[in-house]
C-alpha cells in the first residue's frame, strides 16, 4: 500500500501540531479492534457498539467518493445510521494497529444489496488522540490506480495535539490552506459540511461513481 504524505507547518506540543507528533497510548490490538468496529456501523448483520469518536471527528473519502462526508461526532453518528439504510455487509476485514499515525489501518470489502452484492474493496485509515478516540477517518478505493493518494490527515494542523481537536480558524490552518489546495478544500467543506456534501452528491454520477470506485 503506497501513499504520499506532505507535511504542513506545526510544532509538537502546540495546539496546531500535526498527527505525527502523537505516540500510541493504546495497544496495537486496541487500534485494530476499534478500526474494525467502525465497519460494524455499516454491516446490517451486526449490532454495533458505540464508537469512541472525538468531538470534531472528520471523515474524508477521496474521489470518486464524495470527499468530506461527515464532520463532528453528531454528524458522523447520524450518517452511520443512514448508511445502514443502504444495506451492506463488510467482509474480508484486515485491520492492524501501528506505532505511527494513522494508528489504525484496514482493508475491507463492502457488498451492497442494492448492487447485487458485488464487491467494493476499500482501504481506510484512522487517526487517534491520546484518549483513544478516533479524530480522523480517511478512505479510498483499494484498486490499482487509486491507492497512491496524497494522504490528507498528515497535513491537517491540530490532529497532533493531545485531544486531536482542530481549529478551522487557527493561523496554522489558514496558512496551510493558503499553501495546500486539499487543506483549503477541507476547510471550505468543514465550514458548511452538509451543503457541500449534498452538492457533491448531486453533482456525482451515481452509477459511474460506483463502477469507478468499486471496479465493476
pLDDT tier for residue 187 given thresholds of 50, 70 and 90: very high
Domain residue ranges in the chain: 4-214
Which is more confident, 189 or 83?
A: 189
- Which of the listed CATH numbers 3.10.450.50, 3.20.20.450, 3.30.465.10, 1.10.8.60 matches domain 4-214? 3.10.450.50
What is the structure's pLDDT at 8?
43
pLDDT digits (tens, 9 = 90+) for 38-51: 999 989 888 888 99
pLDDT digits (tens, 9 = 90+) for 71-118: 999 989 887 766 666 789 999 999 999 999 999 999 999 998 888 889
What is the structure's pLDDT at 115?
85
Strand partners of residue 127:
136
Asked whether the bond before 102 is cis by omega within 30 degrees of 0, the reply is yes
Q: Buried b vs exposed e over 186-197: b needs ≥16 C-beta within 10 Å?
A: bbebbeebeebb
Residue 5 has pLDDT above 50, yes or no: no
Contact between 49 and 40 under an 8 Å Cβ cutoff? The reply is: yes
User: Residues, the chain, total?
Assistant: 216
pLDDT tier for residue 10 given thresholds of 50, 70 and 90: low
pLDDT tier for residue 181 given thresholds of 50, 70 and 90: very high
Give this prediction's pTM.
0.92
- At residue 3, what are phi and psi to the nearest 5 degrees? -160, 160
Amino acid at each position: 500500500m503506497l501513499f504520499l504524505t506532505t507535511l504542513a507547518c506545526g510544532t509538537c506540543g502546540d495546539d496546531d501540531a500535526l498527527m505525527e507528533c502523537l505516540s500510541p497510548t493504546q495497544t496495537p490490538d486496541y487500534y485494530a479492534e476499534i478500526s474494525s468496529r467502525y465497519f460494524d456501523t455499516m454491516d446490517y448483520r451486526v449490532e454495533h457498539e458505540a464508537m469512541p469518536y472525538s468531538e470534531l471527528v472528520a471523515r474524508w473519502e477521496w474521489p470518486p467518493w464524495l470527499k468530506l462526508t461527515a464532520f463532528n461526532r453528531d454528524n458522523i453518528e447520524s450518517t452511520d445510521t443512514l448508511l445502514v439504510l443502504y444495506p451492506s455487509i463488510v467482509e474480508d476485514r484486515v485491520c492492524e494497529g501501528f506505532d505511527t499515525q494513522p494508528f489504525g489501518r484496514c482493508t475491507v470489502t463492502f457488498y451492497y444489496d442494492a448492487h447485487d452484492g458485488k464487491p467494493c474493496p476499500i482501504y481506510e485509515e484512522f487517526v487517534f488522540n491520546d484518549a483513544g478516540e478516533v479524530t480522523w477517518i480517511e478512505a479510498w478505493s483499494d484498486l490499482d490506480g487509486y491507492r497512491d493518494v496524497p494522504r490528507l490527515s498528515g497535513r491537517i494542523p491540530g490532529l497532533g495535539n493531545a485531544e486531536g481537536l482542530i481549529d478551522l480558524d487557527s493561523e496554522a490552518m489558514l496558512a496551510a490552506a493558503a499553501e495546500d489546495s486539499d487543506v483549503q478544500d477541507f476547510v471550505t467543506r468543514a465550514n458548511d459540511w452538509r451543503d457541500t456534501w449534498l452538492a457533491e452528491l448531486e453533482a456525482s454520477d451515481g452509477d459511474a461513481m460506483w463502477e469507478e470506485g468499486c471496479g465493476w
